[in-house]
Amino acid sequence: MTQSSTKSNGVAVSTTKSSVSKTLLSPFSLAFLVLLLGIAIQLTAIPSLTGPPAPNKPYSTFQAFYPFYQSEHSNEVNRKLHFAGTTVVIALFLMNPRSVPSLLMGVVVGLVLCPMLRGVPTGFIELALVMMTFIGTHKISTGKIGVAVLIPIVGYGCAWFGHFFHELNRPATFIYPTYSLLGDFQMWFRVATGKEAF
């Protein structure tokens, strides 16, 4: 509890603020709860709101998607570019920990939208909503958007350069943006721990 007093027109005014009244949950606690909700939703069957799955969207879970993700990242230079970009993104999150809940919120929105939009042959709607969630919640929680804009530019910039100029394929982000993002982090972790090679 903090107290402050100010003088206004010769009259002393005293105010009292309680830190408990600001929020019941920290941003990290809220993001963790929302992430758990997203995982729970992923474990249940969410119907597609857009009709039957598009022919190029056969995967309904991240576990089923990851082998496809690996096949789209067989070029060593592309994998190294992904690793470098993801490393910089992780460093940016470590330097700006208040950005992490925004990432978690964006991922949860993506995990909810992915099965609902399986009938749409591209992932642009999902990607746009995930990015708006990430940047919007970052702006709300920090009052700034600079880091929230920089993170995807660095991450996607390195990854897409690898796809367009080395792997010579289209990034999976264009079809499965959320699963692709999770794939980037999983591949980074597996390479960093020696479970996968470049």
Tell me which residue range forms the domain holding 113. Answer: 24-192
Residue at 47 is within a domain: yes
Does the structure show a pLDDT above 60 at 104?
yes
Q: At what angle do helices 177-192 and 62-71 cross, to 10 degrees?
A: 70
Enter the tokens of residue 155. Answer: 């991450």
What average pLDDT does the segment 149-163 reach?
97
Enter the tokens of residue 92. Answer: 């940016």
Residue at 10 is within a domain: no
Residue at 33 is within a domain: yes
- The two beta strands, 2-8 and 11-17, are antiparallel
Does the structure show a pLDDT above 60 at 115?
yes
Enter the tokens of residue 59. Answer: 């995967």
Residue at 4 is within a domain: no
User: Residue 101: its pLDDT value, please?
Assistant: 87
Residue at 55 is within a domain: yes
Query: Which residue matches tokens 């107290």?
Result: 3
Residue at 15 is within a domain: no
Are 107 and 185 in contact by the 8 Å Cβ rule? The answer is: no
pLDDT tier at 124 (50, 70, 90 boundaries)?
very high
Which pLDDT tens digit goes with each residue over 2-52? Answer: 455 555 555 555 444 444 334 445 667 766 767 777 676 666 667 788 889
Number of domains in the chain: 1
Residue at 17 is within a domain: no
Residue at 57 is within a domain: yes
Which pLDDT tens digit goes with each residue over 64-99? Answer: 999 999 999 999 999 999 999 999 999 999 999 889
Q: At what angle do helices 177-192 and 76-95 cross, to 10 degrees?
A: 90
Alpha helices in the chain (DSSP H): 27-42, 62-71, 76-95, 100-116, 124-142, 146-162, 177-192
Are 141 and 26 in contact by the 8 Å Cβ rule? The answer is: no
User: Residue 24: its pLDDT value, please?
Assistant: 47
